[in-house]
Structure 1
């Protein structure tokens, strides 16, 4: 079963709103944007099948998460590889089979030149946000555009991703007699690590900060090998160090904000409350309420995704890698 993304807004709304129907079709895409002379520009696509102007998007394929869908669809339709930014409003449509839900993210696009695939898309157009509002064929497509414009107005559109990853499933403690730091991933955890690699590609962090214990290293290894991301090992992220000096773990989390570049931190379940406490100091009171508060905080292989503007966390999401 595919896990749906959970944003701060969705988690807050779910506590008060009536349950929404389960979507029969899931899709995802991105609003590609850039700034020229302080003016926000966005990329529209023309679909010959419908003769309309819209955003790059498409249906989820079996075996992929929604963020993977968004990145893949943008690559297939306009030939560019994006890294996801802040989440934008999700749109629901009624179709013949039931409810269709489309997830959107912002994605800054600077140097790559978009090219239509010639099948699904026959034309691309950079235009101002105001022009896009007039050109969009589906009135509901204006909703994510308005959110994009508002984020730009607040100077919260250009962000970097800070991802907190709990290591994949390890062999049980009860069956391991050697050093705790050497306890490896279980067979399920090895499959999760491969799925974590694919999921991380949606943000493509170029830095990895990890506990040096075997199960954390094995979780991030597939991603590091695929991307050549720089790895920094921190003893403060181990269970043993955190038990003695939890403030060191929090200092390591705080240090992630220093460079202002996308980074994934891989650690253990007992460290997560301290990590989230430190992250909370960079959040609004509303966002703080959306952080996990109950043990186990994150499932094995699950990722908390924070988008950071400067040193302020402006969005929070959670994703689990797809498990076959």
Structure 2
């Protein structure tokens, strides 16, 4: 009988000083080691949410996640396997200044070093492998990214149980739980712009996020299911605006519209098409795919894409 794995998440927190990329290492008090900020998933959390929370708890710095940069696996003394997911995460100067970190019983010190120096300082080979992956982002010139997130609306009341217009179908009780569960993970990617199909089930899905951010929901029929069924949808226009803006945004839409969203993202960024587009658009209700694009050159293609599902 195999023991259940322990899941955790963290990041390579980075900044640029005098045109040099520096990353943040933590010196842990109890273990007397040097490692990357990370921690275990709390009950009900999604991994991206864990990464941002743990980075803040260990360093005092609030970050938004960039590209996923790998997964480390290792055996604990208890014989259980620990699986840690990592993202690149830029630390703005404002976030660094706002940090209230002081040495404590868990973290003795923080240290900013170049990635190459980090490889010599880190206590564990699995951490060094993550930093090697991070170095590849620098080498490829795609370290600074922004996300465009395609979100399928949360679970709605079944059509057979609804007497009104389909566009007015509300969320089910499970759908409302899903809408609440994705607030933290979407915030983890720095979402500031919320764009939605005007259908009730879509607007209600992003309403908790809008409330948490203090932002308005921008409704557009261009990504609605009604428009898609009538041949009047226009994912190309919506995606074009978002790529030109180069800002983190979430687009809440319907299952049939998602393939158009992902296809237009590929076309707008000169990305080679592949089966990954189909996987990224085949979302369950309440799930979302994050496409990371280069801030400096969005036309260089989708840097990475990842999919997340709520645990409710």
Q: TM-score, normalised by structure 1?
A: 0.88
Name whichever of 225-234 and 260-269 sits farther off: 225-234
- The alpha-carbon deviation at position 204 of structure 1 amounts to 2.6
- The alpha-carbon deviation at position 291 of structure 1 amounts to 2.0
Task: Answer whether contact 1:43 1:124 (CA < 8 A) is retained.
Answer: yes
Does 1:109 find its partner at 2:91? Answer: yes
Does 1:84 find its partner at 2:65? Answer: yes
Match in the other structure for 1:307: 292
Separation in structure 2 between the aligned mates of residue 283 and residue 291 of structure 1, nearest angstrom: 13
- The alpha-carbon deviation at position 289 of structure 1 amounts to 2.6
RMSD of aligned residue pairs (Cα, Å): 1.9
Task: Answer whether contact 1:205 1:229 (CA < 8 A) is retained.
Answer: no
Deviation digits for residues 206-248 of structure 1 (CA, Å, limit 9, x no counterpart): 0011101111110000000011234321111111111223561
Q: How does 1:35-54 map to 2 (within 5 A)?
A: 35-54=16-35
Question: Paired residue for 1:30, among 11, 17, 37?
Answer: 11
Separation in structure 2 between the aligned mates of residue 246 and residue 278 of structure 1, nearest angstrom: 15
Separation in structure 1 between the aligned mates of residue 240 and residue 188 of structure 2, nearest angstrom: 23
- The alpha-carbon deviation at position 280 of structure 1 amounts to 2.3
Separation in structure 2 between the aligned mates of residue 36 and residue 57 of structure 1, nearest angstrom: 23
Deviation digits for residues 116-149 of structure 1 (CA, Å, limit 9, x no counterpart): 4612211001111122111111122111111111
Identify unmatched segments of 5+ residues in structure 2. Answer: none
Q: How does 1:162-173 map to 2 (within 5 A)?
A: 162-173=148-159
- The alpha-carbon deviation at position 172 of structure 1 amounts to 0.8
- The alpha-carbon deviation at position 293 of structure 1 amounts to 5.0
Task: Answer whether contact 1:24 1:97 (CA < 8 A) is retained.
Answer: no
* Equivalent pairs, count: 301
Task: Answer whether contact 1:84 1:203 (CA < 8 A) is retained.
Answer: yes
Shift in alpha-carbon separation, 1:306–1:236, aligned structure 2, 3 A? same
Separation in structure 2 between the aligned mates of residue 307 and residue 262 of structure 1, nearest angstrom: 9
Q: Secondary structure at the match of 2:185?
A: helix
Q: Secondary structure at the match of 1:290?
A: helix
Task: Answer whether contact 1:23 1:100 (CA < 8 A) is retained.
Answer: no
Separation in structure 1 between the aligned mates of residue 232 and residue 104 of structure 2, nearest angstrom: 55
Task: Answer whether contact 2:167 2:200 (CA < 8 A) is retained.
Answer: yes
Match in the other structure for 1:128: 114
Question: Paired residue for 1:139, among 116, 120, 125?
Answer: 125
Separation in structure 2 between the aligned mates of residue 104 and residue 59 of structure 1, nearest angstrom: 12
Does 1:319 find its partner at 2:308? Answer: yes
Match in the other structure for 1:186: 172
Match in the other structure for 1:73: 54
Q: Secondary structure at the match of 1:301?
A: coil
Task: Answer whether contact 1:193 1:222 (CA < 8 A) is retained.
Answer: yes
Q: TM-score, normalised by structure 2?
A: 0.91
